Chain A
Amino acid sequence: MSTSITPPVLEARNITKVFPGVIANEDVNLVLHKGEILALLGENGAGKSTLMNIIFGLYHPTHGEIFVNGKPVVMKSPRDAIALGIGMVHQHFQLVPVMTVTDNIMLGDESVKNGLLDRRAVAERIRALSRKYGLEVDPDAIVEDLPVGVRQRVEILKALYRNAKILILDEPTAVLTPQEIEGLFEVMETLRRQGESIIFITHKLKEVLRIADRIMVLRNGRVVGEADPRTATQQQLASMMVGREVILTVDKGPAHPGETVLEVEGLCATSDLGEPALRNISFQVRAGEILGVAGVQGNGQTELVEVITGLRRADAGHVRIKGVDMTNASPRRITHEGRSSHVPEDRHAYGMVDSYTVADNLVLNQYYLPPFAKGVTIQEAAIAAHARELVKKFDVRTPSIYTPGGSLSGGNQQKMVVAREFSRPIQLLIAAQPTRGIDVGSIEFIHNQIVAKRDEGVAVLLVSAELDEIMALSDRIAVMYKGEIIDVVDRADATREGLGLLMAGVKHEAVR
């Protein structure tokens, strides 16, 4: 690769980045050539985003150098990176929701005429770029009205508007349906043809093999190897990513479903923005089975879980637990009387209190019950004993049960939440994105716990945006699209392609 005559468009040498207490990148080397798609593969926390933020000037490396077109550069801020022709499409879109596409794209690089913004000229340029790269978008639309796929196009246009020659795409497929992903890949191919160089960051093996010219694998902040997509296999890449042979499937026996525990009938609800989020949803979960809810994020899964657990009002329909009507019941009644547990999708917002000790977090929704409370008084000894037992049983790694929960690692925080929710006698478990953003070891542990609950006869409703997780754990799979359950299929009959089509709203008889 170093045989090419022209220098690489981008090179990073010996990059090290140290955050207080963490080494995010250690001695990383990276080379990107003109007109290629380099895939950067690694699991959550491997240091991919940190590396890209360094290349984009958001972070400053502790050690190491960066070269653009063979010349050493120092980037103090994104402004410098942009000036060098580097553009980034962030995993979380960096768009101002209340502003128009035009305003968003020109922000930081405005055209000004007579001291005032020249919006018309900018819109004209955006239209021209749209045509050239096949990225259709209305410059006058307000960003918050646009669907996710279009917002991503706006992000790409934002980089191209600044004449980016190097594009960094940070987990661009996380929010897209399989069909939208294919569309994105076509755009990437067009860009490559036009001479753009792309760094594609992901943790999804299939995508890497599909689109990349070259693959670089990151683990614990270090480069652990490169691979050629023409010869590499998923298993090889996976073991490079995690450092050991991973079990891609969960070991579980057949389900023995019993009586119906959760029954949802004709449920309708409204989102925070006042739009219909759930439209006439009906399904049942029986004891001893796992019903997986698949779907692209933002198709009503969050609202569905919130309505079932009492955090959001249902506008119509019914939720019954073991035949008892729990529609719009208080969360406390649903937990207590409905004997249910809820692992919330956003653990920082809902699942725990960062400033509370591990011990207090472990009784967050039981503190008022004996033995943790006697009358109105809190029983600290009982809470501590309970905490010691759970910390051991669920392998929550914490210096002490009096350590604030917020200072634990993500995986241990999630194990803490799981410990609390799995340690009570329950008949219904609702787990939303139970393994989001945590390490592989904790993922395996939590997956096994979920299956164990099922085998105890608990009805499990599993909501996940990770299709692999749904496929690995579920006994039946419901697919949500635009607030509806578009279909429910048996695990045995489900294929990735079929589910992908359903997630895109295409209901096809061939799926069966």
Chain B
Amino acid sequence: MQRTLRVTSYLAIALVIFFVVMAFLVNLTPLGENTWLRVFFSVSALNFTLRASVPLILGALCGILCERTGIINIGIEGMMLAGAFAAFVAKTSTNHWPLMPSLLFGVAIALLVGGLMGLLHAIFSIRYRMDQIISGTVLIILAGGVSAYLFDRNAVAQGKFGAIAIPGLSQIPVLGEVLFTNPPLTYTALILVVVIHIGLFYTRWGLRSRACGEHPRAADTVGVNVNRFRYMNTVLGGMLAGLAGGFLVLEAVGQFQEGMTAGRGFISLAAMIFGNWMPFGAMGAALLFGYTQALQNELLLAGVTTVPRQFVSMIPYVVTIVAVSGFVGRVRPPAAEGKVYETEGESE
């Protein structure tokens, strides 16, 4: 277990170094004249990767928060969609405000609605003991239905978050463009990875949360209120998924479309599994998935038509299947996942 983890981290580090080196070579030397190398390593490909990864990172963090406390969440997709729609409604109804407050209001509402979706999932699966996978399915259908029912197809959101260049760091060639010239929610997602990692493994909250997901009875017998932690973390997780939806509307696309999450919630779930329920692992997996989407985009831009675009679009989904097939058994989900925890009257 430990060794697999170490080998994976070394591999990840090696991969990162490889990409940095190639990015420098392709973007600063004549190597960049090669179409294929440009497809794989150009600044635009790397930028696209990051942009495509942000919702996946946030979604995977949502999954980690829920599952580390023992609540399975396949409803990330629905939470994201609800967040996106909420952000859109908030943004369009405050179009007359100055841009920044209006966008921030959109973020706040996305967080709120995402949190409410999390609360609903928690109530269904804890209070009403609904099977957690079915509860997630309910959220997905519900979010799809409500957003379509209430969607005003004539509304237009005006403006979206722009890039903020971090002084100094953004001047670094290539890296500055890719990492330090991004819109605010992108930075937020990256910071959240660090924050949640520290939270989970170095704080009281994290220790207790993980205990609830691994052995709820043990947590209960030392006075940890298991279901309170599960409620709390599912709501927090829902907020992160809501933020992912907010990102799509307020930072990436600028508008809402029905079903615009397009499976990102599910891919987040795969990123979480692939990343062994670790924030950095999940981020790595999300970047990988994001990269496959970037490739698809770059291939289109480069006019490569030898492969039909539908097959290129399949890549992230196929990679997900390969990932969950190849890695289950080598990763280890929280032991008490998906099981209802009851104190009274339980005999063991």
Contact = CB atoms under 8 A, between A and B. Distances in A.
A109 B203 CA distance: 12
A94 B207 contact: no
B289 to A, nearest CB: 27
Contact of B218 (A60, A95, A112, A162): A95
A115 B221 CA distance: 24
B210 interface: yes
A103 B210 CA distance: 11
Given A58-B221, A82-B223, A107-B219, A115 B203 contact: yes
A444 to B, nearest CB: 24
A382 interface: no
B208 interface: yes
Nearest to B218: A94
A158 B222 contact: yes
Interface in B188-208: 198, 202-204, 207-208
B221 A96 contact: no
Interface in B81-112: none
A162 B223 CA distance: 12
A122 to B, nearest CB: 11
A78 interface: yes
B339 interface: no
A237 B217 CA distance: 33
B251 interface: no
B211 A107 contact: yes
B204 A117 contact: yes
A110 B215 contact: no
A48 B220 CA distance: 20
- Mostly helix, strand, loop or mixed at chain A's interface? loop
B335 interface: yes
Contact of A107 (B198, B207, B344, B348): B207
Contacts of A112: 203-204
B202 A108 contact: no
Given A19-B345, A116-B203, A117-B204, A107 B224 contact: yes
A99 B222 contact: no
Contacts of A106: 207
Interface string A158-174: 10001000000000000
Nearest to A57: B223
A276 interface: no
B217 A94 contact: yes
Contacts of A56: 221
Contacts of B343: 58-59
B222 A108 contact: yes
Interface in A404-434: none
Interface in B202-239: 202-204, 207-208, 210-211, 214-215, 217-225
Interface of B: 198, 202-204, 207-208, 210-211, 214-215, 217-225, 332, 335, 343-345, 348
Interface of A: 19-20, 56, 58-60, 77-80, 82, 88, 90, 92, 94-99, 103-104, 106-110, 112, 115-117, 158, 162
